[in-house]
Amino acid sequence: MRESPRCGAKTRMGNSCQSPAVSGRKRCRMHGGAKGSGAPLGNQNALKHCEYTREAKEFRKHIRRLLRSGNEMLDNF
């Protein structure tokens, strides 16, 4: 038990937690190592306003490229 890896999460006192980490994880059961803890797979909230869909990201990337090429053309003019 003494040789097991420690949690290391910051406590309210500012020290690191000294509880043993859950096997296969970096945190103890109190700091997010417990089964079922953490965010659900697939962030559905990111799709709420359609800002982070693949199409929206590609569109913004295309617009940035167009603006960059337009600025370069104006600089050379």
Query: How confident is the model over 34-75, as pLDDT tens digits?
Result: 887 777 777 777 777 888 888 999 999 999 999 999 999 999
d(CA 5, CA 20): 6
pTM: 0.45
Please provide residue 7's backbone torsions phi and psi, each rounded to the nearest 5 degrees: -65, -60
The count of residues in the chain is: 77
| Predicted pLDDT at 71 | 95
Alpha-carbon distance of 38 to 34, in angstroms, equals 9
Phi/psi for 57 (5° steps) reads -65, -45
